[in-house]
Amino acid sequence: MARTAANSLPANLSANRRVQATLSLLATPTSRPLAELAAAITALPTGERDYWIGTFYTLLLSSTIRRQQATYFTPPYLAEAVLDLCVEAGFDIRKHRVLDPAAGGAAFLSNVAARAFASGVTPNAILSRLRGVEIDAGLAEISEALVASRLGLSQAPHLISVDDALSLQARAAYDLVVANPPYGRVRANDLPDERWRSIAHSGHINKYAVFTELCFRYAKSGGLIALVLPSSFRAGPLYDRMRTFVRANGQILAIGSVPDRKRVFADVQQDISVLLVRKGAPHPIDARVKFPTLSPLEPGAAAELKLSVEAGAPWPFPSGKGMKAGGAKLADYGVQARAGYFVWNREQDRLLERARKGAVPLVWAKNVKVGTLCRPAGKDGAKTDFVLFDGPSSAIIRSPAAVMQRTTNDKQPRRLVAAMVAPEVRKTWGGFVSENHTIVLVSEGARELKLLVALLNTAAVDDRYRAVSGTAAVSVKLLRDLDLPPPDIFSEELRNNDGDAEAAATVAYDRASRRAMGHG
């Protein structure tokens, strides 16, 4: 309904008209689509209403601006859950100062205001303790109106500065810094200083990592930092510096999982997590961290685990499924993994449509399908593409091999998708190469590879991979370190279960776990 109402308005609305159309949802709009939307959201709880008002505003923006600003709002239940974690950690709703440096939609500020008002604090006292920063002037105005609405005020207060938070001088003055910061790759030249070096790698600077560093500067010593972030920070190899930074500057209190992102954030392609840290001394090695699941549909007790002693090591994704440990790794199967070699759009002159001397066939990620042998096929699915080499190259795979998709999309049920390369590929052309959106698995023997491919395509292994990775991209490093059942146990259970890899994997993990504890 919100999208329909947005589509009913002219596409070239001025900034002021966008704001006025959005704020009209708090009153009585005159146009039919807006009136229907206003009637529908007025019947919702206030938090839900505010969420849809903010979302409606973003739908009036172009998709390009939405992506640039990462204007995806925190849904009410998640904002509530984050604040509940903060209160449990000592945040005093009646007296503590709060900053949201990415305040669009006011999900956190309006929630804090409503809670404080319900506890008897006066509007003026509440407003004196709330501050926000928002880069979009229209969204800042709407957010202030939503806070005013929560406090029963007829005039919106000025509590949100219109600015790029990263360009401001931070002052450690807040008891709670809470945010759902924007994300996306950013260039070092676009940042005001080189503080990013403490939290990100050159060439791989994500805006949410830079915002994390900023939030630590705004928080008082002993204050809380609560962030809604893409889950890539938890285990991604390129976020080891961010994990090291967070541990060095405070105690990690909770790392929450947000299941089923499709019900949480529209258009967001990454898994989402929540990070809660108390600024101060470095994270104690023996301290336990809570790992709650933040979902209205899947509530459960929070696991409490210690983090690895290595500062930049991945942070776990505890599962409520009671996953057993296998104790083996990829190398135990005699298999090596490496990233696909060929970046076609950088070397198009080497990409051929027919075979010739010095060329070998190219395997695309789309050629990899579970349950079938992988055979090279061009983008149109018909003719084979070839890559030209000037001479011998280690990039050419001439041994038994399997190929995995390196990235998966939101419609695919599995992160891990693997297939054996058909034997005739080597026999016909002597070898192959694969594109950079693949991972190649190689071994001296085909038997070990077939066993591993059967295992990798099971839900049991996919669950364990998701437990250490929050992104749609498959990391070669995480794959090498992935917990697997020993090959002898899985092979035996595959025979015992008539080739049913799903059943065999489940039993194999259980057997491996019991064997590790000395129970057989």
pLDDT one-digit tens code per residue, 396-427: 999 999 999 998 765 677 889 999 999 999 99
Q: Which of 272, 306, 340 represents a domain boundary (last residue)?
A: 306
Nearest CA to 108 among 183, 50, 40?
Answer: 50
Name the range with the highest mean pLDDT among 42-51, 348-357, 374-383.
348-357
- 252, 271, 306 - which closes a domain: 306
Assess whether 108 and 39 both reside in one domain.
no
Q: Which residues contact 411 (CB under 8 A, 6 or more apart)?
A: none
Instruction: Look at residues 271, 306, 341 and tell me which one is the last residue of a structural domain.
Output: 306
pLDDT value of position 265: 47
Residue 312 is assigned to a structural domain of this protein:
no
CA 3 to chain centre: 25
In a shared domain, residues 271 and 349: no
CB atoms within 10 A of CB 54: 24
| Edge-to-edge strand list for the sheet holding 174-179 | 160-162, 130-134, 98-100, 174-179, 219-230, 272-279, 250-258, 288-291, 303-306
Q: Model-level pTM?
A: 0.73
| Residue 209: band (very low, low, confident or very high) from pLDDT cuts 50, 70, 90 | very high
Supply the range of the domain harboring residue 408.
330-516
Place 266 in a pLDDT band, splitting at 50, 70 and 90: very low
Tokens of 112: 């804090």
Same-domain pairing of 128 and 170: yes
Shared domain for 373 and 293, answered yes or no, is no
The two tokens of residue 61 are: 């923006």
In whole angstroms, give the CA distance from residue 56 to residue 5: 8
Please give the tally of structural domains in the chain: 3
Closest CA to 257 of 461, 467, 402, 109: 467
Return mean pLDDT, the chain.
Answer: 87
Contacts of 464 (CB under 8 A, 6+ apart): 323, 482, 483
Question: 161 and 62: one domain?
Answer: no
In a domain, 120, yes or no: yes
Q: Is residue 340 part of a domain?
A: yes
Same domain, 274 and 302: yes
* 461 within domain boundaries: yes
User: Where do we find the tokens 């990899």?
Assistant: 368
Neighbours of 508 (CB within 10 A): 30
For residues 248 and 284, what is the distance between their CA atoms, to the nearest angstrom?
A: 10
pLDDT for 66: 58
Helix (H) or strand (E) holding 358: none
Provide the 3-class DSSP secondary structure of residue 406: coil
- Say which residue the tokens 């090291």 belong to: 244
Long-range CB pairs of 505-510, under 8 A, 24+ apart, other chains included:
505/455, 505/458, 505/459, 505/460, 505/461, 506/460, 508/326, 509/323, 509/324, 509/325, 509/326, 509/460, 509/485, 510/324
The CATH number of whichever domain residue 134 belongs to comes to 3.40.50.150
Same domain, yes or no: 453 and 493: yes
Q: What angle do CA 246, 247, 253 make, to 5 degrees?
A: 90
Whether 393 is covered by a domain: the verdict is: yes
pLDDT category of residue 433 using cuts at 50, 70 and 90: very high
Q: Are 133 and 168 contacting, i.e. CB atoms less than 8 angstroms apart?
A: yes
Q: What does the alpha-carbon distance between residue 468 and residue 234 come to, in Å, rounded to a whole number?
A: 8
SS3 337: strand
Domain presence at residue 437: yes
* 206 is a domain residue: yes
Task: Evaluate whether residue 320 is within a structural domain.
Answer: no
Same domain, residue pair 42 and 62 = yes
Residues 342 and 424 in one domain: yes
* DSSP-assigned letter for residue 474: P
Q: Cα(151)–Cα(136) distance, rounded to whole angstroms? A: 23
Do residues 437 and 449 share a domain? yes
Given pLDDT bands bounded at 50, 70 and 90, which one contains residue 93?
Answer: very high
Both structure tokens of 499: 């080739």
User: Over the stretch 445-473, which tens digit does the pLDDT of each residue have?
Assistant: 899 999 999 999 999 999 888 777 766 78
Cα(480)–Cα(503) distance, rounded to whole angstroms?
Answer: 23
Does residue 500 share a domain with residue 422?
Answer: yes
CATH of the domain at 335: 3.90.220
- Per-residue model confidence as pLDDT tens digits over 4-26: 766 667 667 777 877 877 778 88
- Regarding whether 149 and 286 lie in a shared domain, the answer is yes
